[in-house]
Structure 1
């Protein structure tokens, strides 16, 4: 289990590094097979199978995996992919500059209020830091109501429902402008909370 150490989320303490399939396999195995990670679709895999999955991603030319850190400790998992070639190939009209994304927060002994929202903002900032990224595209399970709310908070709009082999999903996109607007609104809300203390 991973427990963030501070009483309030400090976004400046979030960082992202490449996932090492060998060094990180045991850690990531505990995250992706946890009951709260059911939508990650890796329940029942062994640590070696998880290592194999992430070794395949490391070798893939259009898919990357990362470990997110909070206060220098592993705290979340992120994947970046080309949706025209991975996950959504043939299922949507791809645009130049589209980037796909998955993220998963580590299970925590004591959940930190606002942590998951801080993580998705950090992930989106990381993706849009690349000037080649025009839109972020996601395909969450239609039943995953928690992630739908998070996606909406960072500027995603649902395009339509799509059928994938493993699930029914909401194809959703977030433009750079939509994310910037969401980030400004989020920052304003945080300032209001601070002034109300």
Structure 2
């Protein structure tokens, strides 16, 4: 299984993922469909809650072009996350060695970069965002080639820092990226498993 696959039917089928999170429910992931999912995604990224995503002013055509490029790239891929069969979050994963991030830390073999965006909520589900993070890490670490997940959230995004630390991410340093000042944080398979043992089920909600 490779997170970065061609668009043939066998590869796409292999990159579907199903997971149940205790106390929260059933999740699945599938490759993002371009252009099919773009109106939905445009509705998410242009809302105020998604301001750290940096696409609030983007047109539908611009969102389509951006995700078409990511899906067709050799070192990036996007997935739509479903909750009980309904669209619930977006996952972007990328190889940091082929990203601007490579200029800010020593990339190691097996590193996987990741961004995610939760859909605007239609109802409150306690622990939902933390469950999404658990599903994402379960999916990324399903690939034996993935040894460490790397994130670089905006320093101002206080909520995601709580989510990251809960999942096992260890914060390294602040870095200045072209579009933001970010925290660099990493999570190994072992660190995530240790976090699951001590921090689940979740009592706090975000």
* Fold shared, TM-score > 0.5 on shorter chain: yes
Structure 1, unaligned stretches of length 5 or more?
1-7
Q: 2:152 aligns with which of 114, 136, 139?
A: 139
- TM-score of the superposed pair, with normalisation by structure 1: 0.89
**Whole-angstrom distance in 2 between the partners of 1:98 and 1:168:** 21
Q: Deviations over 1:128-185 (max 9, x none)?
A: 1111111000000000000000000010011100000100000100011100001122
Q: 1:112 aligns with which of 125, 131, 134?
A: 125
**Whole-angstrom distance in 1 between the partners of 2:123 and 2:85:** 18
- TM-score of the superposed pair, with normalisation by structure 2: 0.85
**Whole-angstrom distance in 2 between the partners of 1:176 and 1:32:** 30
**Whole-angstrom distance in 1 between the partners of 2:154 and 2:137:** 19
Task: Flag the 1:99–1:113 CA change in 2: closer, same or farther, 3 A.
Answer: same
What count of residue pairs does the alignment treat as equivalent?
Answer: 181
Contact 1:63 1:86 in 2 (8 A): no
For 1:22, what is the secondary structure of its paired residue? coil
Contact 1:21 1:52 in 2 (8 A): no
Q: Is 1:52 matched with 2:65?
A: yes
- Identify the residue that residue 192 of structure 2 maps to in structure 1: 179
Stretches of 4+ moved more than 4 A in 1? none
**Whole-angstrom distance in 2 between the partners of 1:21 and 1:9:** 29
Shift of residue 59, structure 1, vs aligned partner: 1.1
Q: 2:107 aligns with which of 87, 94, 98?
A: 94
Aligned 1:1-197 pairs, distance under 5 A: 9-10=24-25, 13-187=26-200, 189=201
Q: Deviations over 1:73-98 (max 9, x none)?
A: 11100001001112412111000000
